[in-house]
Structure 1
Amino acid sequence: MIMCKIDDFIDVTSRYIAELLDLRADIRPVEKDVLHTFPANITAGYTFCTANLLGHDVVLLYSADSSAYTPGQMRKQKELVERKAQCPVIFVLRTVAAYNVRRLVRHRVNFIIPQKQMFIPDLLIDLKPHKNNIGGGEETQIPAIAQCIILYHLEVKSLEGKGTYDIADLFNVSYANVNRAVRWLKDKEVIALSGGKTKSMIFQFKKRELWDRMLPFLANPIERIVYTDSLPDEVFCISGVNALSEYSMLNKEKNDTYAIAKEEARRLQIRTDKEYGETRIEIWRYNPCFFSKNGIVDKLSLFLAMKDMDDERIQIELETMINNMIW
C-alpha cells in the first residue's frame, strides 16, 4: 500500500465530507500535549485529529493501513479513546476490504473511507456506496466455475493462456458452463481473451491484486450444512475450525467438520439430519478436492466459508493466514 502524506489524507477527507454533508469540516491534528493523554499503544498506530461534524466535536483516527487492527480491536480502541475525549471517535481509512467493512458495521465502529463510504452510527450517518460492479454487467453472483478458475489460478497452478476446453476438462464440467464463467470474468475485466476461434484467458492482475479485486464477488462455498453419525468409508476434506487449526495456532474442536461437493453428497446418499449428529458436513457449491492438499480444504475457500463468523479468535487467525500467504 502506498502511504500518503497526512496533509493530503486530511484534504481528501475534508472534500469528501463537504461533498456528502454539504459542510466545511475544519480538521486539525491534535496537539502533542493533548495527544499524551491518550493510550500510547493507540497513538502509535494512528494520526489523531479533531473536527466538528453537524455540531458535534469528534476525534478522527487516521490510518493508512486498515489491516493493522481487526474490527474487534478497533471497537475497543474506539471505546478507550472516547472515555478520554468524551466525544465520538471516527476512524478514517484509506481502503478496507469488503468483508471487513461488514464487520466494522456489525461492531458499530464509526468510519470514513474517503470517496467510498461514511458510516457514523453515533451521529446517525450511514451513507452507503453504490454496488460494486467491476466492468459493468448485470450479474454480480459469481458462477461456481468462475470461482473455481480464480481459486485454482491463485492456489494450485497458473491458468494463464488456458482456453475454455482446457477448463472444461480440468473441472469435468460442460463447455457451456465454462463459457458462461469465462464471459462473467471478462465482463468484470479481470481477464482478457486472446486468439481466434479458440480463445485463451489472459489475467489482468497479479495474484494478490486479483484476490483483493475479486473478493467482493467471491461466494461462500457452503450451500448448506447437515449432520450425521454415520460417515461412509470415502475420505472427505477436513473443513471448519479443524482445517483452520492446520493453518494457524487455533486449537482443534472435538467434533469433526468435513466438506463435500453437492454432486458427491447425492451420489453417496449419506443419512443426515439438519440439526443433530456427531459430524458436521458442509455441502459445497464446488468440489473442495479441486484445491485440497493433504485432505484439508484450501486456505482461500476456508476463508470464504468462515469470514462472516463472529468469533474474534477465528477472524484474527483468518487474517493472519491470508496475510502470510505466498502468492
Structure 2
Amino acid sequence: MLVLQCNQDVTKDFMDTQPAQIAKYLHQTLGIDVAVRVWKERARLPVFLRQGYEFYELEILGRPCLAMVDRADEEISPTTVRKHAEYLLAKFPGDVIYVRQQLAAYQRKRLIEQRVPFLVPGNQLYLPSFGIDLREFYRTRRGAPESLSPGSQLVLLHLLLHPCRGDQTPKELADRLGYSKMTMTRVFNEFESHSIGEIKTVGRHRCLTMPDDRRRTWNDTLPLLRSPVTKVYRVRCANGPVQGVSAGLAALSYYSMLSAGPQRTVAVTGSQWKSLRGQVDLQPMAAGDPDATNVEIWSYDPAILAENGFVDRLSLYLALRETRDERIEAALAEMMEGVAWSRA
C-alpha cells in the first residue's frame, strides 16, 4: 500500500468551496487533475441523504467516484457513514468516498477499520480499493481519554437515573441539563469513542439511544467514572449553616440505615465555593471537630442530579467507593440495591 505524508491546513469555508478543495487536495497529493461535478442523480435519493450530504462525481485514476460531503455540524458515527455509503454503492457504478472538513482521530481509525473510503482535504485520504492511505501529521486532537470528562459523566448519570424513551439529541439534553450545545457535542463524541449507547444521525442531527439494561451500562462504564469530589474544606460559618447539597455520610444515611454522626457535609461547585467565601465569614476547622462542616468541591454541579436536597446515589457511590470502612461499604451496597434500574 502506498503511504504518503503531508501537513496542510484548510482555512476556507468548507461548504462554499467543496469541489475546489477536493480537486486541489487530489492534485497536491496524487498529482492528478480532476473535474468535480454535481451528481445529477442526487434528486432520486431519499430525503435523509439529500439533507445530510452534498454529492459530487469525479474520476480518480480512471475510476468513477462519488464524493458524499457531510453537511452536518456534528460528526456522524462511522457505522452510520458505512451504511449510507453501502446504500449509495447500489446506485453508483464506482467508489463512494466520505468527505468531511475535520475528523477526530478515533473517527478516522474506525472508518479505516470498516474500510470506508474517506477524504479530509488537507489532512488525509484513505482509498483502500486504490491501495492508497495518505496520512497527515495529525493536528493535535486527543483520542478517547481513560475516563469521562465531568460533563460527560454527569450526562451519563442523568440518563441512568432518569431514563428517557427514544432518541435524545444534543439540544434536548443541553436544554434539560443547562449545558451549551458545544459542550453537548463533546459529550456525544466521548460517548461514541467509548461505545456508550448508540449514536446515529437523523437528518442533520445526531441522536443518542441508551440501552434498556441500565444496570449493565453502569457496570460497563464504572472504569470510566471518577469521584466528583476534587477538594474538601472543613469550615465553620459564623452566619449560620453553610449552604449546599447534602453529601457525604449525611447523604448516605438518607439512602441507607447508616447513622451519619454530627458533622454536616455539603457539595458545591468551584464557582459556588468562590462566591460563598466572598459572602460569609468562614473559619477553618480541624478534622473531626463536631462543629465543622465538610465542604466538598465537585467537578460538576451536584444540584442537577440531587434528590430531595441530597446528592444522587450514583455520584455518592463514586465519591465514597474507595472508603475502607465496613459500615460504609455495607451502607453503599444497601443504597445501590435501592436504585430503580428497571424503572421506565
After superposition, give the CA deviation of every residue in 1:44-69 in whole Å (9 maximum; x if it has no partner).
Answer: xxxxxxxxxxxxxxxxxxxxxxxxxx
Query: TM-score, normalised on structure 1?
Result: 0.54
Matched pairs, number: 192
From 206, 214, 218, the counterpart of 1:207: 214
From 240, 250, 273, the counterpart of 1:265: 273
The answer on whether the counterparts of 1:153 and 1:159 sit within 8 Å (CA) in structure 2 is no
After superposition, give the CA deviation of every residue in 1:184-220 in whole Å (9 maximum; x if it has no partner).
Answer: 1111111222213221111145211111111111110
The answer on whether the counterparts of 1:239 and 1:296 sit within 8 Å (CA) in structure 2 is yes
2:327 and 2:165 mapped to 1: Cα distance?
Answer: 34
After superposition, give the CA deviation of every residue in 1:26-49 in whole Å (9 maximum; x if it has no partner).
Answer: xxxxxxxxxxxxxxxxxxxxxxxx
The answer on whether the counterparts of 2:285 and 2:292 sit within 8 Å (CA) in structure 1 is no
Alignment of structure 1 residues 67-146 onto 2, 5 Å: 137-146=143-152
The answer on whether the counterparts of 1:193 and 1:201 sit within 8 Å (CA) in structure 2 is yes
From 230, 240, 244, the counterpart of 2:248: 240
Closer, same or farther: CA 319–268 of 1 in aligned 2, 3 Å: same
2:332 counterpart SS class:
helix
2:198 and 2:283 mapped to 1: Cα distance?
Answer: 43
Alignment of structure 1 residues 1-327 onto 2, 5 Å: 137-158=143-164, 160-194=166-200, 195-204=202-211, 206-230=213-237, 235-269=243-277, 271=282, 273=284, 278-327=292-341
After superposition, give the CA deviation of every residue in 1:233-287 in whole Å (9 maximum; x if it has no partner).
Answer: 7742111111111111111211101111222222322636485671100010111
2:318 and 2:324 mapped to 1: Cα distance?
Answer: 14
2:247 and 2:324 mapped to 1: Cα distance?
Answer: 18
Closer, same or farther: CA 272–262 of 1 in aligned 2, 3 Å: farther
The answer on whether the counterparts of 1:191 and 1:202 sit within 8 Å (CA) in structure 2 is yes
The answer on whether the counterparts of 2:242 and 2:293 sit within 8 Å (CA) in structure 1 is no
1:279 and 1:159 mapped to 2: Cα distance?
Answer: 40
Write the letter of the residue equivalent to 1:198: H
Shift of 1:151: 0.9
Write the letter of the residue equivalent to 1:150: L
Closer, same or farther: CA 149–159 of 1 in aligned 2, 3 Å: farther
Greater Cα shift, 240-249 or 228-237: 228-237
1:284 and 1:253 mapped to 2: Cα distance?
Answer: 22
RMSD: 2.3
Write the letter of the residue equivalent to 1:218: L
Write the letter of the residue equivalent to 2:193: D
Greater Cα shift, 234-243 or 308-317: 234-243
The structure showing larger relative contact order (alpha-carbon pairs under 8 Å, at least 6 residues apart) is 2
1:215 counterpart SS class:
helix
Structure 1 match to 2:127: none
Q: Which runs of 5+ in 1 are unaligned?
A: 1-136
Find the structure with the greater CA-based Rg. Answer: 2
Shift of 1:161: 1.4
1:140 and 1:205 mapped to 2: Cα distance?
Answer: 25
Write the letter of the residue equivalent to 1:224: K
Structure 1 match to 2:5: none
Identity of aligned residues (%): 25
Query: TM-score, normalised on structure 2?
Result: 0.52
Closer, same or farther: CA 183–321 of 1 in aligned 2, 3 Å: same
Shift of 1:222: 0.3
Shift of 1:175: 1.9
Greater Cα shift, 303-312 or 158-167: 158-167
Greater Cα shift, 169-178 or 303-312: 169-178
After superposition, give the CA deviation of every residue in 1:80-129 in whole Å (9 maximum; x if it has no partner).
Answer: xxxxxxxxxxxxxxxxxxxxxxxxxxxxxxxxxxxxxxxxxxxxxxxxxx
Shift of 1:312: 1.1
2:218 and 2:212 mapped to 1: Cα distance?
Answer: 9
2:227 counterpart SS class:
coil
